[in-house]
């Protein structure tokens, strides 16, 4: 389902995008070109901040969750897609946990329990004692995000939540090797931004 690109274009203009008509390449060679649905609309001098703002707005529900945004640093391009026909999928969002010192899923067991309560209440009938909590609630709280095929190229996805755990310190003992257990790869980077949602 596509959405109207005009609110995005208006927002970009208000957030410092220089229109294409005013752009002089030799005066600002490091400016990032901004495209909406494949059409070059202008340039921006601070694409990192703009991208962070756009993601925050999408995670809060101010921008449609189906809008895709890609920043190609090498090509100095920021691409936003609002058109229909793109394949996308949901992923959990990963955040830095300052207390633990490593990355964690933003979604917690409490969120899943609230989803299950709503589902059970719906089956049994009525919503008298609990507030309805749905998939849209997860999207609007910034716990889950829709990612399309092109945006997927610019993120790092953990295959399962266990991949977010910090590696064992040297000297820590590992339980007996279980032949059915998945062998965990040595992690050199802990820069995951998203995590797969297991189908079960």
Q: Supply the pLDDT for residue 74.
A: 94
- 3-class secondary-structure state, position 187: coil
Closest CA to 50 of 19, 82, 79, 20: 79
Query: What separation in angstroms does the CA of 137 have from each of 65, 90, 94, 144?
Result: 12, 14, 17, 9
Domains assigned to the chain: 6-81 (3.90.1070.20), 88-170+179-195 (no CATH)
Threshold 0.85, pTM exceeds: no
Closest CA to 132 of 116, 147, 145, 155: 116
Q: Supply the pLDDT for residue 132.
A: 85
Q: Supply the pLDDT for residue 70.
A: 96
Q: Supply the pLDDT for residue 19.
A: 92
Q: What residues in the chain have per-residue pLDDT under 50? A: 171
> How many helices (DSSP H) and strands (DSSP E) are in the chain?
4, 10
Q: Supply the pLDDT for residue 183.
A: 57
What are the two backbone dihedrals, phi and then psi, of residue 57, each rounded to the nearest 5 degrees? -65, -40
């Amino acid at each position: 389902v596509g959405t109207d690109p005009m609110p995005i274009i208006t927002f970009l203009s208000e957030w410092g995008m220089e229109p294409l008509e005013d752009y002089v390449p030799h005066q600002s060679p490091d400016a990032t070109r901004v495209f909406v649905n494949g059409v070059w609309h202008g340039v921006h001098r601070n694409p990192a901040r703009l991208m962070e703002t756009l993601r925050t707005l999408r995670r809060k529900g101010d921008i449609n969750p189906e809008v895709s945004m890609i920043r190609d640093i090498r090509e100095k391009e920021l691409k936003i897609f609002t058109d229909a026909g793109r394949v996308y999928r949901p992923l959990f969002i990963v955040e830095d946990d300052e207390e633990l010192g490593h990355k964690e899923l933003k979604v917690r067991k409490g969120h899943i329990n609230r989803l299950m309560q709503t589902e059970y209440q719906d089956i049994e009938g009525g919503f008298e004692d609990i507030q309805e909590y749905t998939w849209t609630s997860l999207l609007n709280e910034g716990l889950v995000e829709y990612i399309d095929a092109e945006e997927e190229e610019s993120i790092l996805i953990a295959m399962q939540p266990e991949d977010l755990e910090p590696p064992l310190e040297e000297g820590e003992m590992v339980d007996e090797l279980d032949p059915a257990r998945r062998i965990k790869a040595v992690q050199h980077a802990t820069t995951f931004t998203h995590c797969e949602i297991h189908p079960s």
